[in-house]
Amino acid sequence: MARDGGAFRLEVGVFPLHRMTFAAETRYQDGTLSIDRAALLATLAEPRVIADLEIHLAHPGESCRIVHVLDAVAPMVKVDGRSTVYAGFFGTTMPAGNGRNHLLRGAAVLVCATFPDPTSGALSPAEAIIDMSGPAAPYCACADIANLVLVCHPAPGVTNADFDAALHRAKLKAAVYLARATTALTPPTVETYELQPVAPDLPRVVYVDQLHQQGLMAQTFLYGKHTQGLEPTILHPNEMLDGALVNGNYRAPGRAATYAHTHNFLVRELYRRHGHDVNFLGVVIGRGWQDSQMLKERQGWMTARVARLMGAQVAMISADVGGTGGNNTIDFMQTIKACEQMGVQTVAVMQEAGNPDGSDPTLVDFVPEANALVSVGGIGWHIPAAPAVQRVIGGTTVQPSIAENPHDASGPLAVTCWYGAIWKRAELGLSAVDA
Amino acid sequence: MTEALRVVHYLNAFFGGLGGEAEAQTPVRVQPGPVGPGRLLEQALAGHAQVIATLICGDGYFAEHEEAVVEQVRAHWRTLQPDVCIAGPAFRAGRYGLACGRLCLEAERLHIPAVTGMHSENPGSDLYRPEHLYIIATESSAVGMRPALERMAALALKRARRQPIGTAAEEGFLPRAVRRTVSTGTPAAVRAVDMALKKWRGEPYTSELTVETFETIPPAPPITDPSQTLVALVTESGLVRQGNPDRLPSAAATHWAAYSVAGMDRLVAGAWEAVHGGYDNTAALQDPNRVVPLDALRALERAGVIGKLLDDLFVTVGNMGSLNAMKRIGAEIAATLVQRGVQAVILPAT
């Protein structure tokens, strides 16, 4: 059969991973990945930008804390197909979403760094912390998987923008390097992702994803380019699984990671129910945090018309992995309103803000059309303080809030929002009720 | 067996057996033991608690003498030493609902647990649910007396015993502007698709967030003569003196600061920093006047367009601010402004 060059059929060969270890050669066997640290360092080296690069390992259950976390990436490699994984960051091989990948399931590449030049306001990295064990671990992204941690130190004179670009290259190269150990191996399981035609009476559903885009350090990449001027457009869900979206947003610690984009919970759930309960048409992406009320309303209509023109009857809406909270809630509500007014029924997943005892209003905006909301609970919700840890990766001090002085990173720590907390809360099944 | 808990019940004159509208002007009176619906209430309390006294007041009298009634009721509570106060239920009777709500709020302030009951459309519900009162949802009329009193009694016993209280849905009270994070055991994506299918099929479903509408703030009347007006600058931009001496946070502020701008013609770069975490502060740092336009206001002052600018600049951080904290901060700053004779405020947005 002739090959269809425009197909979106993605096979994922899954290699379970339980342990990573440093060794003389990089090799995958029986759930263990041995890593040649020198070879990996040579692959990642960009001495003119990154003066020093530490590589650490962190496993679940260890008394270990990872600080200044910027992103988490799933280790995967394209073994057959027209694009690379994380396409756009490895030349112009695109579009993604077709062919065969190998994925190390149960592992992530983390990147940690502090930027060379001062930053301010929205365009600043917020402290993001992972505890690999203890009471906070269930609320930290990647605390339940094996992590290769890159700690990057900038070369003198490097700008934040140049350093940031190098961090993206380093984390994505490392993710591909690790998975490449499996290219010659036969995967124990293969998952196939394809939107096959389904029974005509199933509701036609799209997933609407509002991306975080404000500027350097608060942005999301689509095929290697920031989404500042992005008008709502269509993605095949396979493009997301294949890494077409890469995170460059370091604002709130609860933010989406690249890992969360490639494992987006609504994409996976709609795929699971495609052909059974729903007819999954695809994904509409657009950026939130528009600059004015007019642009926020426009964003809603521009998104709704794409959904409608795709033939959608239902739109599942989230802001990345549930990260509504600031002024993007207005864009979000306008999207719900416009979809409903154009005859596309909505269900939206949201986080709730407010204070720890829940006695504050938890949303900053609301439209009457938002009559079907799913909550992942309150981000101010108290979780137990974490005890001191034996080992810290990524830095020696932490500053969870600008109102606090930096303090010892290994000591006891009370943090309400850990790294990737919104994603974790969604997967844990947390919600909130009137009480 | 432990001693029965002490309940003081509040009724309006109608339910207190004093007649209808003509008796609405009845002042506060206290009767020992249960009266009218109080007998059903005592049955529902099933011997665990006793209605030791009933306070009765006409709705009209309450509305016209609210503060005086509150004082008298407080005095009765001091004498009666209740473990829990129960008011109503008021169903959809508006003035009765307002009285029940106010008295329950006063009881809670004295650390006496209180429970009332109303229909969701009772104006007392709109006013007092945001005060976090426990208001059992009732039918619109006294047809629903028995189930209302049973739920009120059950909740009152839990509250009097300081036992954990269930959710609004479990206990039957109206949402009282308190959210509790809970585990559903089912990932958000699964719940979301399930909800979408129900909505699509026209089946009943429950949104996990039902949101209160925000209150409308009416604008103040226009200033008659700006050239005679004392103007103040108030900002949520987080523009603070260098070093952030008041430790304002970048988000979720709970306090405010004031800085003197007396004698300053403009804000000088380097003397100020912006701690607000919700916008790119670069332009504000380069020229603080672009976020807090002291230079422009001084020009208007010199030209006589405005009378005078207040010597102090009031600052907080609006980013991710809690509504309750912002209301309090706003009220505190406003009180200071009024005390200093300010007639107009410029609120530059970020």
B231 class by beta-carbon count within 10 Å (0-12 exposed, 13-18 middle, 19+ buried):
buried
Q: Which of B188, B276, B322 sits opposite A429 (nearest CB)?
A: B188
The pLDDT of residue A2 is 53
Distance of CA B90 to the CA centre of its chain: 20
Mean pLDDT, rounded, for B77-104: 96
Mean pLDDT, rounded, for B131-142: 95
Residue A83, SS3 per DSSP: coil
B279 and A430 within 8 Å at the Cβ level: the answer is no
Render pLDDT for A378-396 as a digit per residue (tens, 0 to 9).
877 777 889 999 999 999 9
Same domain for A166 and A241? no
Render pLDDT for A233-242 as a digit per residue (tens, 0 to 9).
999 999 999 9
Of the residues A194, A218, A233, the one at which a domain ends: A194
Q: Which two tokens stand for residue A29?
A: 């066997």
The DSSP output letter for A267 is H
Same domain for A120 and A99? yes
Compute the residue count for chain B.
Answer: 350
If pLDDT is split at 50, 70 and 90, which confidence band does B21 have?
low
Closest CA to A94 of A222, A237, A229: A222
Q: Does residue B42 contact residue B51 with C-beta atoms inside 8 Å?
A: yes
Report the Cα–Cα distance between both ends of chain A, in Å, rounded.
61
Instruction: Kindly list the distances between the CA atom of residue B181 and the CA atoms of A347, A375, A428, in Å, as whole numbers in the listed order.
Output: 20, 9, 12
Closest B-chain CA to A265: B189
Reported as half-sphere exposure (CB side, CA atoms, 13 A), residue B97 has a value of 25
pTM of the model: 0.86
Q: Tell me the residue type at A31.
A: G
Domain assignment present for A221: yes
Same domain for A357 and A377? yes
Q: Which of A265, A345, A425 sits opposite B200 (nearest CB)?
A: A345
Q: Does residue A36 contact residue A371 with C-beta atoms inside 8 Å?
A: no
Residue with tokens 């059903």: B40
* Weakest-pLDDT range from A89-103, A165-179, A259-273: A89-103
Nearest-CA distance B215 → chain A (Å): 12
Same domain for A283 and A162? no
Same domain for A216 and A183? no
Nearest-CA distance B275 → chain A (Å): 7
Omega within 30 of 0 (cis) for the link into B89: yes
User: Could you tell me where the DSSP H helices lie in A156-246?
Assistant: 160-180, 237-241
- Please determine, for residue B213, whether its predicted confidence score (pLDDT) is greater than 70: no
Domain assignment present for A21: yes
Same domain for A51 and A188? yes
Residues in A touching B185 (Cβ below 8 Å): 429
Those residues whose C-beta lies under 8 Å from the C-beta of residue B74, and which sit 6 or more positions away, are: B106, B110
Nearest-CA distance A132 → chain B (Å): 22
Of the residues A194, A219, A235, the one at which a domain ends: A194
Q: Which of A313, A352, A434 sits opposite B167 (nearest CB)?
A: A434
Closest CA to A65 of A425, A417, A383, A419: A419
CA distance B282 to B292: 14
Q: Tell me the residue type at B193.
A: V
Domain assignment present for A399: no
Domain assignment present for A74: yes
Beta strands A279-287 and A204-211, pairing class: parallel
Those residues whose C-beta lies under 8 Å from the C-beta of residue A393, and which sit 6 or more positions away, are: A56, A58, A64, A65, A66, A67, A112, A149, A151
A100 class by beta-carbon count within 10 Å (0-12 exposed, 13-18 middle, 19+ buried):
middle
Domain assignment present for A23: yes
Residue with tokens 């909130």: A432
Provide the residue range defining the domain that includes A281.
Answer: 197-381+416-435
* Average pLDDT, rounded, for chain B: 93
Render pLDDT for B139-160 as a digit per residue (tens, 0 to 9).
999 999 999 999 999 999 999 9
Closest CA to A352 of A433, A289, A236, A286: A433
A316 and B193 within 8 Å at the Cβ level: the answer is yes
Q: Does residue B179 contact residue A358 with C-beta atoms inside 8 Å?
A: yes
A355 and B165 within 8 Å at the Cβ level: the answer is no
Total structural domains within chain A: 2
Instruction: Kindly list the distances between the CA atom of residue B105 and the CA atoms of A298, B99, B114, in Å, as whole numbers in the listed order.
Output: 44, 10, 8
Domain ranges of chain B: 5-171, 226-346
* Weakest-pLDDT range from A84-98, A215-229, A348-362, B188-202: A348-362
* Average pLDDT, rounded, for chain A: 94
- Please determine, for residue B211, whether its predicted confidence score (pLDDT) is greater than 90: no
Residues in A touching B164 (Cβ below 8 Å): none
Q: Which two tokens stand for residue B339?
A: 């005390």
Compute the residue count for chain A.
Answer: 435
CA distance B37 to A197: 64
Of the residues A168, A194, A220, the one at which a domain ends: A194
Distance of CA B124 to the CA centre of its chain: 12
Q: Which two tokens stand for residue A180?
A: 């490449």
- Please determine, for residue B172, whether its predicted confidence score (pLDDT) is greater than 60: yes
Same domain for A178 and A252? no
Domain assignment present for A1: no
Nearest-CA distance B297 → chain A (Å): 25
Render pLDDT for A92-135 as a digit per residue (tens, 0 to 9).
888 999 999 999 999 999 999 999 998 877 888 999 999 999 99
Render pLDDT for A37-74 as a digit per residue (tens, 0 to 9).
999 999 999 999 999 999 999 999 999 999 999 999 99
Mean pLDDT, rounded, for B73-90: 97
CA distance B153 to B137: 13
CA distance A324 to A332: 8
CA distance A4 to A253: 42
Mean pLDDT, rounded, for A275-292: 96
Instruction: Kindly list the distances between the CA atom of residue B7 and the CA atoms of B38, B131, B248, in Å, as whole numbers in the listed order.
Output: 10, 22, 46
Closest A-chain CA to B273: A120
Q: Does residue A171 contact residue A152 with C-beta atoms inside 8 Å?
A: no
- CA-only gyration radius of chain B, Å: 27
Q: Does residue A317 contact residue A332 with C-beta atoms inside 8 Å?
A: yes
**φ, ψ (nearest 5 deg) of residue B61:** -65, -45
Same domain for A202 and A135? no
CA distance A188 to A335: 42
Mean pLDDT, rounded, for A356-362: 76
Nearest-CA distance B61 → chain A (Å): 33
CA distance B231 to B225: 12
A433 and B180 within 8 Å at the Cβ level: the answer is yes
Same domain for A266 and A155? no
- Give the 3-state secondary structure percentages of chain A, helix then strand then coil, rounded to 5: 20, 30, 50
Same domain for A219 and A235? yes
Give, for B198, the enclosing helix (H) or strand (E): helix B188-201
Residues in B touching A372 (Cβ below 8 Å): 195-196, 199, 205, 207
Same domain for A186 and A244? no
Q: Which of A126, A277, A381 sits opposite B197 (nearest CB)?
A: A277
Residue with tokens 């350097």: A216
A199 class by beta-carbon count within 10 Å (0-12 exposed, 13-18 middle, 19+ buried):
exposed
Q: Does domain B5-171 have CATH number 3.40.50.300?
A: no
A203 and B193 within 8 Å at the Cβ level: the answer is no
Q: Which of A124, A359, A401 sits opposite B177 (nearest CB)?
A: A359
Q: Rounded to the nearest 5 degrees, what angle is found at the Cα of B33, between the Cα atoms of B30 and B34?
A: 95
- Please determine, for residue A1, whether its predicted confidence score (pLDDT) is greater than 50: no
